[in-house]
A and B are shown apart, each in its own frame.
Chain A
Amino acid sequence: MMNLINKVLEENELPFDVLSLIFSNFTTVTRKQQRPHLESLFSILSLSFEIQAKNQLRENILNVEQKNILGVFQDKIKEDLQENYPEGFKISEVLKQRGALRALTWGQKVTSIQNSLIKRFIKSGESIIKENEKIHVCEACGFVIIKNNTPDICPVCKAPSSRFVSF
């Protein structure tokens, strides 16, 4: 854990959004471990950091322009797909870190899918969601799909339909 903290500290002090997710992960873990006491403690810290992150963003971007934001997302995704993921694969294979390899495999596929969804949304807006359709997200890997019913199985991580949330 200190490794992660040190790395981020080198660039900028552990930002609110990253802290929020470190603690939201611990919240989920302690829920699965049936430790509700710890779960509530991690949860309040995670929520607080999330609120602070959102407020900080709202201060810096007074008029959150959607179109620009989507362009920014595309740039970040492009950098990840062209540089960071390939670098990650190379390092993980050389160092034989199979856990990291798994996270990179799923992550790269999901990031590509996010990319194509953003492209379609920039082009056609909310009409990419048809009449009977919903957006489904796999809670295990982040895979996103727009269709009428939840997929039987996640194509990225093979989780069953019970692991999907729908909006």
Chain B
Amino acid sequence: MFAVRNIKLCTKDCMCLYVCPTGATDTEDGKIDVSKCIDGCRLCVDACPSHAIYLIYDRYPETTLPENDVVQVLTKLLVKKAEMFIKAQVISENEKLKNRANFFKCLGLSNKITAEDCIREAGCLIPEEKKFNNLVQSNMVQKLFKETYKRSDDNSIEIILNNILESLRLNKDADKITMFLCENCGYVSTKNIPGDCPHCASNKIRTIKD
């Protein structure tokens, strides 16, 4: 585990500087140097008079699955909210009047947040290797992408999913990958897209570097 400073709470009393054995807490950008932070030391956490430092853990316990009936009713709720989120977003993007656009945007955001809360309580609290593996095994994700794009020559989705699985299994980052997203149609690739989107020919390609 390593220490992280919540800069909003930090009152610059600097007790963390006095107690740190490696000088990890003394940096020019306010972020504690993880490479110097001693696992489990927590001297800075306890020394801070404003409780501005907390610990990030490497390991998390396996979450318990909620009862089936609870999952069922939460799912009924979240499916509707997810739908309303997207609908409100689309309307907001088409709306020219700023206040009206904001109204729908906020309605959408509110539904997104309540839906995500239901998703967490229905069993998807944090990403876990075993459970994520089930999702991948179900072929749901690959199928959805293949259905949409009908390209068998690009296995980028497999690459991304396997990278996630490996990172979860090893509890450590797998190989860094640069990814490309078409903002028009949602096409995802790990292969460099030299010009326009191979699926929809749009030029709105976003590069997502790790």
Which A residues lie at the B interface, using CB under 8 A? 1-5, 7-9, 11, 13-22, 24-26, 28-30, 33-38, 40-45, 47-55, 57-58, 64, 66, 69, 72-73, 76, 79-80, 84-85, 87-88, 91-92, 95, 97, 99-100, 102-103, 106-107, 110-111, 114, 117-118, 121, 125-126, 128-129, 135, 137-144, 162, 165, 167
Contact = CB atoms under 8 A, between A and B. Distances in A.
Interface of B: 4, 8, 56, 65-80, 82-91, 93-94, 97, 99-100, 102-103, 105-107, 109-128, 131-132, 134-135, 138, 140-141, 144-145, 148, 160, 163-164, 167-168, 173-174, 176-177, 179, 181-188, 208-210
Given A14-B140, A107-B114, A126-B100, A42 B127 contact: yes
Contacts of A15: 79, 82-83
A87 B75 CA distance: 12
Nearest to A36: B210
State the majority secondary structure of interface residues on A. helix
Given A13-B140, A91-B67, A107-B118, 6 more contacts: A1-B132, A2-B138, A24-B112, A73-B107, A137-B106, A167-B102
A111 B114 contact: yes
A80 to B, nearest CB: 6
B123 A44 contact: no
Given A1-B123, A88-B74, A37 B111 contact: no
B114 A40 contact: no
A42 B138 CA distance: 18
Given A43-B208, A51-B184, A66-B91, A80 B77 contact: yes
B108 to A, nearest CB: 10
A147 to B, nearest CB: 13
Given A17-B82, A36-B210, A92 B70 contact: yes
A25 B86 CA distance: 16
Nearest to A94: B69
A5 B138 contact: yes
A41 B208 CA distance: 9
Contacts of B85: 17, 21
3 tightest A-B CB contacts, nearest first: A51-B186, A142-B113, A126-B99
A100 B82 contact: no
A3 to B, nearest CB: 5
